[in-house]
């Protein structure tokens, strides 16, 4: 009975318009939302999205490929399909800043998956991932390459939400787009020439190799496969994928030899070489150290798998389905 009277007294006191009651009420009103937000965010587990990094020289078709993969289900005969290659892909221009888009890919049957299918409309099982399109201009390539080792990427530079970020463990694959038609022509000085394209590719592969060899501790970093996408096979002058591969391997071998000679001529790393350490020359050597010829198979030593697959974004040809299925297998 006494406890009941005490409870009634407390209730009556809390209903009295006194300064103490007002103060406590204001504190509760303002602090409760913050406390609730803290408890909810603390108990919520955020998932990071896997990412695919798109590299390549200017003019290779990176932005056009990003646009093709991103386009929604319109201007087609079926509501469940995105536009085909016969539909006009909007004209693009040289990118100045990176662009990140969120895409969905089938998890049901990766052997038949297509970028043309609207998985959300069909209600099919799918997985989301980020495609990061980077500028290909020579002056902006260092920023693109740094993304191979940076700890975090964001869907939007101003976004800080954990749900839209991915760390380097979530970087699942790299696509290096090349102009297969530009490689076959005398385009000296052009970004799409064989020499310029191979130089950029050399830097990208060497960055991945250094990432694998500079890991601290016994646990190696997750492997990042590379797809060299030979674009523009719809053009008569384009080289087939097999010839793109052999030409790039030969050019990468020449670049490797030239850079090694440049280091030796400058005297950099000579003392280390005499001591048997290899020095800077070995750290800048792509693939099997000391080998006469370069091949992409040498990168398997560093757990870097390289595939060369042909395709095209516009016009008649094999299309981009093989590239899309490659992404599905890697993420």
Record the tokens describing residue 311, joined without a space: 């395709």
pLDDT at 35: 75
Q: What is the pLDDT of residues 113-123, one digit of tens each?
A: 777 777 666 76
Q: Which residue has the higher pLDDT, 212 or 228?
A: 228
Nearest to 192 by CA among 142, 250, 231, 240: 231
pLDDT at 166: 40
Q: Provide the β-strand partners of residue 178.
A: 230
Reference 323, options 114, 49, 46; nearest CA is: 114
Residue with tokens 């500079």: 214
Q: How many CB atoms lie within 10 A of CB 198?
A: 22
Highest mean pLDDT among 83-87, 89-93, 322-326: 322-326
Nearest CA to 285 out of 316, 253, 315 is that of: 253
Secondary element (H or E) of residue 172 = strand 171-179
Beta-carbon count within 10 A of 68 CB: 22
pLDDT at residue 97, as a whole number = 78
Bridge partners for 171 per DSSP: 51
């Amino acid at each position: 009975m006494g406890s009941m009277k005490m409870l009634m007294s407390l209730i009556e006191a809390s209903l009295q318009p006194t300064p103490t009651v007002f103060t406590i009420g204001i504190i509760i009103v303002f602090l409760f939302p913050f406390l609730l937000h803290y408890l909810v965010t603390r108990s919520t587990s955020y998932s990071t999205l896997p990412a695919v990094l798109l590299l390549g020289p200017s003019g290779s078709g990176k932005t056009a490929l990003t646009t093709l993969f991103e386009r929604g289900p319109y201007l087609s005969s079926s509501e469940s399909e995105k536009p085909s290659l016969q539909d006009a892909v909007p004209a693009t221009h040289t990118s100045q800043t990176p662009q990140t888009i969120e895409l969905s890919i089938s998890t049901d049957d990766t052997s038949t998956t297509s970028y043309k299918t609207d998985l959300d409309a069909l209600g099919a099982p799918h997985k989301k991932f980020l495609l990061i399109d980077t500028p290909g201009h020579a002056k902006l390539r260092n920023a693109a390459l740094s993304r191979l080792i940076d700890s975090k990427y964001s869907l939007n530079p101003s976004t800080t939400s954990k749900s839209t970020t991915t760390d380097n463990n979530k970087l699942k694959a790299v696509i290096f787009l090349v102009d297969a038609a530009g490689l076959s022509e005398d385009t000296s000085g052009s970004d799409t020439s064989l020499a310029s394209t191979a130089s950029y590719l050399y830097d990208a592969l060497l960055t991945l190799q250094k990432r694998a060899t500079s890991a601290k501790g016994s646990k190696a970093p997750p492997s990042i496969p590379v797809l060299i996408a030979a674009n523009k096979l719809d053009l008569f002058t384009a080289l087939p994928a097999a010839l793109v591969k052999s030409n790039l391997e030969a050019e990468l071998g020449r670049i490797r030899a030239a850079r090694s000679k440049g280091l030796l001529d400058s005297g950099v790393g000579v003392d280390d070489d005499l001591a048997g350490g290899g020095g800077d020359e070995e750290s800048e050597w792509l693939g099997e150290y000391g080998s006469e010829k370069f091949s992409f198979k040498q990168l398997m030593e560093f757990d870097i798998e390289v595939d060369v697959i042909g395709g095209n974004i516009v016009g008649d040809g094999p299309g981009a389905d093989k590239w899309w299925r490659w992404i599905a297998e890697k993420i």
